[in-house]
């Protein structure tokens, strides 16, 4: 087995990679949740700051803060805020705390509740959060956070953000929450002013646990969808591999087994009943194989016919040469020498025709073409035939220029063969008629004679190579015998020019050869 066949880079593998990419590309949007998380935290901080500023504005301008006034103000805000708000005096002592007003909560915002193990410690969450953890590790390290436990020991609240607020500036801090689930608590401190002096601070804090937990649940849901999509992609890839890659592999194997050790066609393409592109490809390959096999058989038959046709003149040359060496009579020697010359000329004529046939087969319709005026070409051929002593020929029909796209040499040779054939069959004194016409999108040339016509059983055989039907077997002009290749050459030339050549019988006697070539 060749190396390229062992590589796992077939269509099936590529389909799997492609489908997996289609799954993971939308799943990469999960990484956007990290950006979305930062945006939510920023929005949460702005909301906290606005609440703190409103409360600080309400308490500012009253002189020193009194516990009763602060408590009364916070009681009015208690049901309207989801954050923890504390007000401290100038020494950091807590004057009021929303978590102590009314019924106590089971746990305040800074101590996040225990997270369900099924959410944060399950293998599904760990796999789904792996890209997030990797991306976070690749980012520049963030500044270290403090711990929320700094305010859990009681006493004055003198964190960095509170000290900044007591100094008359806005202060903010981020600390890691204590509790079962590690989350972040945001702190914002806004100064309470009396004139230009800071008499206290409003400390607003809120845990990000609820936001993080909602994002975690979203990540798990997305990862579930990702796993389901990946499974669907694998199944779809296997299905496509079975319906696309495997039939192509079978076609490849059939193509490799098409030739035997001697390079001959052996076997065939099995055409499936499927009606898709692969079925069309298999049927096209089988049609191509059949045409190639027919061509090879035609070439082999032609080679066999050429060999057979050359046997007779070679046998005559050999016999005449042997007798020429034995006889002394000058007349006999002259007669045998004439036989040798005639058979050599016959072989040269056959070799020329065989060479032309081979050239037509090899070149096909790729030969150089030019724009030809058909009437001028026909009249030139008729004039040349008259100069060679051929029979009378009349040209009639279309007088306006008729142009076709073909090789002037090849098409001239084809029409010359048709004229020679018609002249050879026409009785003495009867003219061959050539008609020119323009019919639809075709230029038409008809060569008509007054000969015996063509038997129905030979209507197509006359175009076969080396086939010649001549009841009286008269020689060609110049004494050369007919090779049976003239009509075959004519049809090949016309077909290479995109036209067709057919033979019919005239109603009033004689044969008609009709050439149709598309107009240029």
Closest CA to 416 of 462, 364, 477: 477
316 in any annotated domain: yes
Looking at the DSSP bridge assignments, the partners of residue 518 are 442
Task: Verify that 373 and 361 share a domain, yes or no.
Answer: no
For residues 112 and 249, what is the distance between their CA atoms, to the nearest angstrom? 60
Domain count of the fold of the chain: 3
Q: How confident is the model at residue 29 (pLDDT cuts 50, 70, 90)?
A: low
The residue with tokens 């090789």 is 407
- pLDDT reported for residue 202: 93
CA distance 377 to 389: 19
Q: Domain containing 465: what range?
A: 367-518
446, 407 contact by CB (below 8 A): no
State CA 60 to chain mean position distance: 73
Total H helices, total E strands in the chain? 15, 15
For residue 252, tell me if it sits in a domain: no
Of 183, 201, 224, the one marking the end of a domain is 224
CB-based burial label for 269 (10 Å; 0-12, 13-18, 19+): buried
* Residues 423 and 339 grouped into a single domain: no
In Å, what is the CA distance from 514 to each residue of 44, 401, 431, 440, 488? Answer: 93, 19, 17, 15, 14
What local confidence, expressed as pLDDT, does residue 329 receive? 87
Looking at the fold, whether 136 and 49 belong to one and the same domain comes out as: yes
Q: Token digits for 337? A: 């020498």
Q: Which residues contact 354 (CB under 8 A, 6 or more apart)?
A: 306, 485
Mean pLDDT, the chain, whole residue set:
79
Identify which has the larger pLDDT, 39 or 441: 441
pLDDT at 134: 67
* pLDDT band at residue 124 under the 50/70/90 scheme: low
With a pLDDT cut of 70, the percent of the chain lying above it is: 78
How far apart are alpha carbons 148 and 313 in whole angstroms?
Answer: 116
For range 57-71, the mean pLDDT: 87
pLDDT bin (cut points 50, 70, 90) of residue 6 is: very low
By CB atoms closer than 10 A (0-12, 13-18, 19+), residue 237 is buried
CATH number at 343 reads 1.10.287
Strands (E) in 346-477, as ranges, are: 370-373, 393-397, 403-406, 432-439, 442-448
Mapping DSSP to helix (H, G, I), strand (E, B) and coil, where does residue 372 land? Answer: strand
Tell me the CB-side half-sphere exposure of residue 329, using CA atoms within 13 A: 5
The whole-number pLDDT of residue 107 equals 41
Residue 231 forms part of a structural domain? no
Beta-carbon contacts of 320 under 8 Å, excluding residues fewer than 6 positions away, are 336, 337, 339, 340, 343
Both 332 and 377 in one domain: the answer is no
Confidence of residue 502 (pLDDT cuts 50, 70, 90): very high
Same domain, 176 and 188: yes
The lowest-confidence range among 140-149, 175-184, 430-439 is 140-149
Residue 244 lies in a domain: no
246 within a domain of the structure (yes/no)? no
Same domain, 206 and 100: yes
Cβ count near 3 (within 10 Å): 6
* Helices 277-326 and 246-256: angle between axes, nearest 10 degrees: 10
> Is residue 31 included in any domain, yes or no?
yes
pLDDT digits (tens, 9 = 90+) for 262-317: 777 878 888 878 787 888 888 899 999 888 888 788 777 777 777 877 887 888 88
Q: Which residues, at least 6 apart from 353, have a Cβ–Cβ distance to it below 8 Å?
A: 483, 485, 486, 489
Q: How much is the pLDDT for 482?
A: 62
CA dist 454 and 321 (Å) reads: 39
Lowest mean pLDDT across 88-92, 190-194, 473-477: 473-477
- The Cα 44–Cα 207 span in angstroms is 10
* HEC letters along 486-498: HHHHHHHHHHHCC
Report the relative pairing of strands 393-397 and 432-439 from DSSP bridges: parallel
Q: Is-contact 190 88, C-beta < 8 A?
A: no
Mean pLDDT over 215-221 rounds to: 76
Reported confidence tier of residue 500, pLDDT bands at 50, 70, 90? very high
> Domain boundary at 365, 395, 410, which?
365
Asked if 378 and 337 sit in the same domain, the reply is: no
Q: Is the pLDDT of residue 433 over 70?
A: yes
Taking Cα atoms as reference points, which of 62, 101, 94 lies closest to residue 79? 101
Q: What is the mean pLDDT of residues 482-499?
A: 84
pLDDT score for 178? 58
**Tokens 């050549």 found at:** 501
Residues 6+ apart with CB under 8 A from 123: none
Is residue 73 located within the same domain as residue 208? yes
- How far is it, in rounded angstroms, from Cα 256 to Cα 259? 7
Confirm if 135 and 147 have CB atoms less than 8 A apart: no
Residue 88 in contact with residue 156, Cβ under 8 Å? Answer: yes
Is residue 386's pLDDT more than 50? yes
Q: Which two tokens stand for residue 403?
A: 């142009």
User: Which residue carries 């608590």 as its tokens?
Assistant: 185
Q: Is-contact 255 285, C-beta < 8 A?
A: yes
CATH label of the domain that carries residue 195: 3.30.450.20
pLDDT of residue 471: 63
For residue 200, what pLDDT band results from cuts at 50, 70 and 90? very high
Residues 335 and 275 placed together within one structural domain of the fold: yes
* Nearest C-alpha neighbor of 91 from the set 196, 194, 198, 171: 198
More confidently predicted of 476 and 373: 373
By the 8 A CB rule, do 497 and 407 touch? Answer: yes
**C-alpha neighbours within 13 Å on the C-beta side of residue 485:** 19
Q: Is 500 helix (H, G, I), strand (E, B) or coil?
A: strand
- The CATH code of the domain that includes 392 is 3.30.565.10
Q: Kind of pairing, strands 370-373 and 84-89? A: unpaired
**pLDDT for res 300:** 78
Q: Are 175 and 207 in contact (CB under 8 A)?
A: no
**Whether residue 121 is found in the same domain as residue 140:** yes
Are 179 and 48 part of one and the same domain?
yes
Most confident of the ranges 20-24, 136-140, 423-427, 514-518: 514-518
- Residues of the chain with pLDDT > 90: what percent? 16
Query: Which tokens hold the place of 322?
Result: 């042997």
Of the three residues 298, 333, 365, the one that is the final residue of a domain is 365
Domain contains 237: no
- Same-domain pairing of 401 and 352: no
Q: What is the pLDDT of residue 180?
A: 47
The verdict on residue 249 lying in a domain is no
Question: Counting Cβ atoms within 10 Å, is residue 181 exposed (0-12), middle (13-18) or buried (19+)?
Answer: middle
At 359-381, the pLDDT tens digits run 776 666 566 788 999 999 999 99
Alpha helices in 388-485 (DSSP H): 408-425
């Amino acid at each position: 087995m060749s190396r390229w066949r062992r590589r796992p880079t077939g269509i099936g593998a590529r389909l799997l990679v492609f489908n997996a990419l289609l799954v993971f590309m939308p799943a990469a949007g999960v990484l956007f949740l990290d950006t979305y998380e930062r945006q939510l935290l920023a929005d949460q901080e702005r909301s906290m700051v606005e609440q703190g500023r409103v409360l600080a504005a309400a308490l500012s301008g009253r002189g020193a803060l009194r516990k009763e006034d602060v408590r009364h103000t916070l009681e009015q805000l208690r049901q309207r805020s989801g954050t923890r708000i504390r007000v401290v005096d100038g020494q950091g002592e807590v004057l009021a705390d929303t978590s102590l007003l009314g019924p106590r909560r089971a746990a305040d915002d800074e101590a996040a509740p225990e997270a369900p193990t099924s959410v944060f410690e399950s293998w599904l969450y760990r796999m789904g959060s792996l890209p997030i953890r990797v991306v976070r590790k690749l980012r520049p390290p963030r500044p270290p956070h403090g711990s929320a436990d700094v305010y859990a020991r009681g006493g004055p609240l003198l964190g960095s953000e509170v000290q900044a607020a007591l100094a008359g500036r806005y202060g903010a801090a981020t600390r890691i929450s204590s509790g079962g689930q590690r989350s972040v608590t945001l702190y914002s401190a806004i100064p309470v002013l009396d004139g230009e002096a800071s008499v206290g601070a409003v400390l607003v804090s809120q845990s990000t646990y609820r936001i993080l937990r909602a994002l975690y649940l979203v990540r798990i849901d997305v990862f579930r969808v990702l796993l389901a999509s990946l499974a669907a992609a694998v199944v779809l890839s296997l299905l496509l591999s079975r319906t696309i890659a495997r039939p192509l592999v079978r076609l490849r194997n059939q193509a490799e087994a098409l030739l035997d050790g001697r390079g001959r066609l052996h076997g065939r393409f099995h055409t499936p009943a499927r009606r898709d592109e692969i079925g069309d490809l298999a049927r096209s390959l089988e049609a191509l194989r059949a045409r190639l096999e027919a061509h090879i058989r035609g070439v082999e038959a032609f080679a066999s016919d050429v060999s057979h046709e050359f046997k007779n003149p070679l046998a005559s040359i050999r016999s005449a040469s042997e007798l020429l060496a034995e006889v002394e009579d000058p007349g006999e020697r002259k007669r045998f020498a004439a036989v040798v010359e005639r058979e050599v000329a016959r072989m040269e004529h056959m070799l020329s025709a065989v060479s032309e046939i081979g050239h037509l087969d090899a070149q096909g319709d790729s030969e150089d073409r030019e724009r030809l005026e058909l009437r001028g070409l026909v009249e030139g051929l008729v004039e040349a035939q008259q100069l060679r002593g051929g029979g009378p020929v009349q040209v009639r029909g279309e007088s306006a220029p008729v142009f076709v796209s073909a090789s002037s040499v090849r098409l001239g040779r084809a029409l010359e063969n048709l004229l020679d054939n018609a002249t050879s069959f026409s009785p003495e004194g009867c003219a061959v008629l050539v008609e020119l016409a323009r019919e639809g999108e075709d230029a038409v040339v008809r060569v008509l004679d007054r000969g015996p016509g063509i038997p129905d059983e030979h209507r197509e055989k006359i175009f076969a190579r080396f086939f010649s039907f001549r009841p009286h077997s008269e020689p060609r002009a110049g004494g050369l015998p007919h090779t049976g290749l003239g009509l075959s050459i004519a049809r090949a030339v016309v077909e290479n020019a995109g036209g067709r050549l057919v033979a019919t019988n005239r109603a009033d006697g004689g044969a008609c050869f009709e050439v149709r070539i598309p107009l240029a």
